[in-house]
Amino acid sequence: MSLVDLSKHIALGVDIGGTNTKFGLVNHRGQILEKGSIKTDNYVEVQDFIEAFYERVQPLLEKYSQEKYIDGIGVGAPNGNYYRGTIENPPNLKWKGVVPFSEMITQRFGISCKLTNDANAAALGEMMFGAARGMRDFIMITLGTGIGSGIVCNGQLVYGYDGFAGELGHTIVKPGGRKHYSTGSEGSLEAYASATGISVTAKKFRAEFPESMLNEYPEEQINAKTVHQCALKGDPIAIEVFRYTGQKLGEALANFVMFSSPEAILLFGGVIQAGDFLLKPTRFHMERNLLPIFRGRVKLVFSELDEANAAILGASALVWENKS
Amino acid sequence: MSLVDLSKHIALGVDIGGTNTKFGLVNHRGQILEKGSIKTDNYVEVQDFIEAFYERVQPLLEKYSQEKYIDGIGVGAPNGNYYRGTIENPPNLKWKGVVPFSEMITQRFGISCKLTNDANAAALGEMMFGAARGMRDFIMITLGTGIGSGIVCNGQLVYGYDGFAGELGHTIVKPGGRKHYSTGSEGSLEAYASATGISVTAKKFRAEFPESMLNEYPEEQINAKTVHQCALKGDPIAIEVFRYTGQKLGEALANFVMFSSPEAILLFGGVIQAGDFLLKPTRFHMERNLLPIFRGRVKLVFSELDEANAAILGASALVWENKS
């Protein structure tokens, strides 16, 4: 054990989302000492955002600086680039172009800042505080409106040559398949297994099967949640929506396993509320597509982190990450 | 620069194949000072192989031990496991079960031995002596009778949790597609883009197009080489065989890029003799399936290493690999 008193060290974790930016002061145990949020979309100019953020957070930092060391600021952001500390052409933020966010934060606060994309931050959070504690090789998949992913090999996040590794949602699971609503690619995992993809599948299936309970909802209410409700009531078409989704997801996961041979794949995000309706077919189709040497060896589990805090914890973990 | 005289340090690189085992004494510049081979398949028992190998190699080691330091022995072997130093159920060797090969070599020679699978060794060879010098993120794909792969992230080979990472030949590129002749999986990359896969495609295409030059050969002579010869003569069906192969390969490569964002993908092995007939469609379909942020950024190149020596160089590089 080190003689350094880790309990005195804290980090500021920041999760930048299209609507809200959440932040928290986190200690080495993953306890959030303080947290708060400001509206991201109130600020068309990133400079104004930084200023408002500083005014909101600086008093907190001063309060804790009496008795704690603030080791740094970690930021998870859409299209965040670890190497450059930039947020690059984020589709769901008002800030355009390449924003040197990390540098701006460091200059304003006088504290070093590390930045990565939100999915990578989530993976770090799992490694430091969640279901991946002690693991050196795992893959984290976030199934939300889109699909994000963070890949850890040899105990390190895989950033790749240019810092954009881990775009697993955009891998093609069915060549020539369903067109992605924004990228235009055909047959990507995100087009099937994101919440958005699930609602596309559900709308298609309910049109084919008029007897499905899914037809009791108006079009705009067909989403992963309502499909789950119908599945719970025993609607076979709703159950089939998750089975189909799980097949596509499981086939993709098998390919990921044969790439990096992880100890575990962690699933995270709103879609996992579907529980076994999704998990069972996913596992079946993953195993089915694996080489025998991989079968039965890879844990497929849900995240242990509370979704409301995970992004903050993950961003703070970035401050303490070992990067060779 | 270190004061250590690297020119005095050598390693024994060993490439175990189903028929022949090749070995060489290699220096830090990738020069092979001595090389030779013994018949692998003469030895049903691995103990007998080790003994014959020792008798053949030990005199060489003694000759060089006067003026050089022998840093270790590196072995590339089918189904080689880096963590355990074992060769596990190799399909094309006579030795069955789990062979503690590295330990046996160390005991017999009194020299430390590292072992990995042949494709990983090839990737290390490229990183130390070939086209991937100085790269920290790349993927090496060997297109031979089968498809092997070695993945380097953050300057380290990706072995994964159990040492079997990098089975990219077995990733599924077309769900429900062509059945693999040995694994039984459906639609794997190896079923399409290996030399074996190319001959399957060629036989199928020539049956559909009686006018193809491919029909001038007897069935057993249809292989990647004869398809290449027909392509060179302008046979559109032979050219289409490579285009189809390149499409499947390119689609797979796009997924690999979105996984680990490599600086380069290196292609190696007999199939690359097809040159641009294969490379051009491969590149086209890789780019087509990439997210825009990756397009035009990943080098797709052929290996620079002489195929006859690459395996020996790669195995020797294992001795000098930095592994955190």
For B109-125, give the DSSP string: HSS-EEEEEHHHHHHHH
Task: Sort out which chain A residues have CB atoms less than 8 A from B164's CB and list them.
Answer: 261, 293-294
The stretches of chain B forming alpha helices (DSSP H) are 46-65, 101-109, 118-129, 189-193, 195-208, 224-232, 236-260, 276-289, 307-320
Residue A313's CB is within 10 A of a number of other CB atoms, namely 28
pLDDT at A89: 87
* Closest CA–CA distance from residue B124 to any residue of chain A (Å): 16
| Residues whose CB is less than 8 angstroms from the CB of residue B102 and which lie 6 or more positions away in sequence, other chains included | B75, B85, B86, B113, B114, B115
Q: Is B297 on the interface with A (CB under 8 A)?
A: yes
Task: Sort out which chain A residues have CB atoms less than 8 A from B140's CB and list them.
Answer: none
Task: Sort out which chain B residues have CB atoms less than 8 A from A262's CB and list them.
Answer: 160-161
User: Mean pLDDT across the stretch B41-47?
Assistant: 95
Task: Sort out which chain B residues have CB atoms less than 8 A from A161's CB and list them.
Answer: 135-137, 261-263, 297
* Closest CA–CA distance from residue A106 to any residue of chain B (Å): 26
User: Mean pLDDT across the stretch B34-46?
Assistant: 96
- A116-148 b/e (C-beta count within 10 Å ≥ 16 → b): bbbbbbbbbbbbbbbbbeebebbbbbbbbbbbb
Q: Do B255 and A254 touch (CB under 8 A)?
A: no
Q: Are B235 and B268 in contact (CB under 8 A)?
A: no
Q: What are phi and psi of B73, to 5 degrees?
A: -120, 130
Q: Do A165 and B260 touch (CB under 8 A)?
A: yes
The pair of three-digit structure tokens given for residue A313, joined into one six-digit string? 């914890």
* Closest CA–CA distance from residue A37 to any residue of chain B (Å): 30
Task: Sort out which chain B residues have CB atoms less than 8 A from A170's CB and list them.
Answer: 258, 291
Residue B306's CB is within 10 A of a number of other CB atoms, namely 10
User: Mean pLDDT across the stretch A165-189?
Assistant: 94
User: Mean pLDDT across the stretch B138-156?
Assistant: 95
Q: Which among B162, B163, B168 is the nearest to A258, CB-wise? A: B168
Q: Do B289 and A151 touch (CB under 8 A)?
A: no
Write the pLDDT tens digit of every residue in A29-70.
999 999 999 999 999 999 999 999 999 999 999 999 889 999
pLDDT band at B1 (very low <50, low <70, confident <90, very high): very low
Mutate to test the interface with A, among B171, B251, B290, B297 (most CBs of A within 10 A): B171
Q: Is A209 on the interface with B (CB under 8 A)?
A: no
Taking CA–CA distances from B252, the nearest residue in chain A reads: A172
The pair of three-digit structure tokens given for residue B74, joined into one six-digit string? 């590196």
R_g of chain A, CA atoms, integer Å: 21
ipTM for the complex shown: 0.91
Mutate to test the interface with A, among B161, B168, B170, B192 (most CBs of A within 10 A): B161
Q: Percent of chain A beyond pLDDT 70?
A: 98
CB pairs under 8 A between A and B: 139
User: Mean pLDDT across the stretch A97-101?
Assistant: 96
3-state class (DSSP) for residue A206 = helix
Taking CA–CA distances from B263, the nearest residue in chain A reads: A161
Q: Do B160 and A262 touch (CB under 8 A)?
A: yes
| Residues whose CB is less than 8 angstroms from the CB of residue B224 and which lie 6 or more positions away in sequence, other chains included | B195, B198, B199, B270, B271, B273, B274
Q: Is A254 on the interface with B (CB under 8 A)?
A: yes
Mutate to test the interface with A, among B79, B167, B186, B298 (most CBs of A within 10 A): B167
Q: Is A31 on the interface with B (CB under 8 A)?
A: no
Q: Percent of chain B beyond pLDDT 70?
A: 98
Q: What is the average pLDDT value for chain B, to the nearest integer?
A: 94
* Closest CA–CA distance from residue B79 to any residue of chain A (Å): 10
The CA-CA-CA angle for residues B310, B312, B316, to 5°, reads: 115
Mutate to test the interface with A, among B182, B259, B266, B294 (most CBs of A within 10 A): B259
- Picking from A256, A182, A189, A183, the residue whose alpha carbon sits closest to that of residue B295 is A183
Q: Do B160 and A175 touch (CB under 8 A)?
A: no
pLDDT at B2: 52
- Picking from B128, B175, B183, B152, the residue whose alpha carbon sits closest to that of residue B304 is B128
* Closest CA–CA distance from residue A36 to any residue of chain B (Å): 33
Q: In this model, does residue B184 exceed pLDDT 50?
A: yes
User: Mean pLDDT across the stretch B184-206?
Assistant: 97
Q: Do B137 and A153 touch (CB under 8 A)?
A: no
pLDDT at B293: 87
Q: Which among A161, A168, A262 is the nearest to B137, CB-wise? A: A161
Q: Is B98 on the interface with A (CB under 8 A)?
A: no
Mutate to test the interface with A, among B182, B256, B261, B265 (most CBs of A within 10 A): B261
Q: Do B258 and A168 touch (CB under 8 A)?
A: yes
User: Mean pLDDT across the stretch B262-288?
Assistant: 96
Strands (E), chain A: 9-16, 20-27, 32-39, 69-77, 80-81, 86-88, 98-99, 113-117, 138-143, 147-153, 156-157, 264-268, 299-302
pLDDT at A293: 87
Write the pLDDT tens digit of every residue in B150-168.
999 999 999 999 998 999 9
